Structure 1
Amino acid sequence: MANGRCVAITGAGSGLGRALARRFAEDGDTVILLGRTGARLEAVAAELGTTAQAIVCDVGSSASVRAAFVEIAERHGRLDVLINNAAIYQPTFVKDATDAQIEAALTTNFAGPIYCARAAIPLMRPGGQIINISSETVALPHAMFSLYQSSKAGLERFTEALRAELEPEGVRVNMVRAGQMTDEDSKSPSDDLEVLRRFAEENAKRGLDLRARPVSSFQSVADFIRLLTHLPADLNAPQIVLEARRP
């Protein structure tokens, strides 16, 4: 293990997860990349070098999470930081939602962080930290995002409960509600052009012009989260709300 901390990041193959992995690797931390797509994880691990480890893990599966954290325990013996970042967001009206879409939102966005936290806690010592990534959509009147919004709202409530539970153990728990983000290869929330058209149209009806709203970079958010893991011992920041702004 490197001299730094041991940091596990879910959804680490792209987007914010990849930006986080890059940022923590710069500090010399051991970075554990968790995600469903092995090829993406391996590409990030190859970029970061010997301090990165890729582990294929579907956070929506309790068995997959359990196996991944057994591997972390066997190889590293401890975990200093867990960042629950993996999420699925697919625009749909509830009346049109498939079973698969409902299950994906609930298992990946809500149950997944619970599974990962449960597996991580035994590996953490006082000073450990769990950071759950939420979304600004919880507080905005988005159309066609009820599955995503409600799963993230559940995650926020879980974060509050977990913080109270782990405070006596000396483990910090934080919630970061992030705004719109992008990077060099961001993907749209759907491959269906008709769904995207309807998504923009319905949100415009609610006063949300998605194309006009400011967008921050994944790297900027990753830089902030890195700072959050270096708080003085006598401080905590239980809930952080980040908003994109035009520089």
Structure 2
Amino acid sequence: MGKTIVITGAGDGLGRALARRFAADGETVVLLGRTLAKVEAVAAELGDAHLALQCDVGNPDSVRTAFATIAARHPKIDVLINNAAVYEPFTLAEVRDEQIMASLATNFAGPIFCAREALPLLRGDGHIINVSSESVSLKMPMLWMYAGGKAAVELMSELWARELEEDGVRVTTVQAGMMMDETKTGSNWPIDVSMRFAQENAKIGLNLRERGISHYNSVTDVFRAVLDMPADLHIGTVALSARKRAAAPA
């Protein structure tokens, strides 16, 4: 019997790669995304068994509506993957109100809203996976808001794991490194922001051009392994970093 897996931020990036991977594995995927056309396009690619829903994870009413629709079709789900996030560098002096609120809503409140609404459907051998970032440990300049939100999610994950044990719900954090695929050629940040971000990181010894970049498809293998672990095991945190592959010998 296949699993029913809900993935936020499933319209592109890692979320889309996870949806494709799990659908290919025979699981049923529910794709949530702020832009309905994106998740509908992925769901159409995957087939009729899969469901695409518009959902702004930072809006509690949007989350409630999405999970009510999910519950009507799937009274039990096996996995919630909190993947949706916004990612933007800035300094404390220049950060705008809307940037602060967007980061707090999507990166911090979003996983809470989704996990709360998913919990009745997850009780009894369900699994919550919260996607975090290596920026938590690297402490990259200009990413303090993003990394701070992810650090908070990591702490929450540990406490949720303890709280939800009696409900039969496991909670895992996957801390991911830099990732890309063939459709992603770079950030959509203004060029001056990208340059300053690179320069500030270089000052602390992080040369972004020399860091490894993993493929989204490679990262999906880790999520597959987490979901397939025996029922008598728990994985609290998986820390991933991209490996810079050596050039092939001439």
Q: TM-score range, shorter-chain basis? A: over 0.9
Task: Please list every run of 5 or more consecutive structure 2 residues that lacks an aligned counterpart in the other structure.
Answer: 246-250
Q: 2:129 corresponds to which letter in structure 1? A: I
2:143 and 2:244 map into 1 onto residues whose CA distance is 25
CA contact under 8 A between 1:12 and 1:21: conserved in structure 2?
A: yes
Q: Distance in 1 between matches of 2:63 and 2:41?
A: 21
1:194 — aligned with what? 192
Partner of 2:174: helix, strand, or coil?
Answer: strand
For 1:113, the aligned partner's letter is P
Alpha-carbon distance in 1 for matches of 2:13, 2:221? 14
Note if 1:20 corresponds to 2:21: no
The 5 A counterparts of 1:45-84 are 45-84=43-82
Partner SS for 2:164:
helix
Out of 4, 7, 10, the residue aligned to residue 6 of structure 1 is 4
Q: 1:189 to 1:145 in 2, by over 3 A?
A: farther
Q: For residue 83 of structure 2, what is the aligned residue in structure 1?
A: 85
Counterpart-to-counterpart distance in 2, 1:190 and 1:184: 15
Q: Which amino acid aligns with 2:107?
A: N
Residue of structure 1 aligned with 2:164, choices 148, 163, 166: 166
CA contact (8 A) 1:29 1:51 kept: no
Deviations 1:71-118 (A, max 9, x none): 000111111100000010111111101111101111100100000000
Q: Tell me how far apart the structure 1 counterparts of residues 115 and 47 of structure 2 sit (CA, whole Å).
A: 26
Secondary structure of residue in 2 paired with 1:232 = coil
Aligned equivalents of 1:34 and 1:188: distance in 2?
24
Distance 1:13 1:105, change over 3 A: same
Trace 1:86-235 onto structure 2 (pairs within 5 A): 86-186=84-184, 188-235=186-233
RMSD (Å), alpha carbons: 1.1
Helix, strand or coil at the partner of 2:113: helix
1:103-151, CA deviations, whole angstroms, 9 ceiling, x for partnerless residues? 1111100100000000000011321100000000001131110110100
TM-score where L is the length of structure 2:
0.95
Looking at structure 2, the residues matched to 209 and 52 of structure 1 have their Cα atoms a distance apart, in angstroms, of 41
2:238 — aligned with what?
240
Runs of 4+ in 1 over 4 A off after TM superposition: none
Query: What TM-score do you get using the length of structure 1 for normalisation?
Result: 0.97
**SS of equivalent residue, structure 1 residue 95:** coil
Post-superposition offset of 1:38: 1.1
Distance (Å, rounded) in 1 between the aligned partners of 2:241 and 2:140: 16
Partners of 2:94 and 2:157 in 1: CA distance: 30
Q: Distance in 1 between matches of 2:21 and 2:188?
A: 28
Tell me how far 1:190 sits from its aligned partner. Answer: 3.7
**Percent identity (aligned):** 53
Q: Deviations over 1:175-208 (max 9, x none)?
A: 1111111111226444311111111111111111
C-alpha distance in 1 between matches for 2:88 and 2:189 = 10
Q: Distance in 2 between matches of 1:125 and 1:163?
A: 13
Is residue 139–residue 147 contact of structure 2 (8 Å, CA) maintained in 1? no
Distance (whole Å) between structure 1 residues aligned to residue 89 and residue 187 of structure 2: 7
In structure 2, C-alpha distance between the alignment counterparts of 1:51 and 1:90, rounded to whole Å: 35
Question: CA-to-partner distance for each residue in 1:13-69, whole Å, 9 max, x for gaps?
Answer: 000000000111012111000010111111101110112110000000000000000
Structure 1: unaligned runs, 5 residues or longer: none
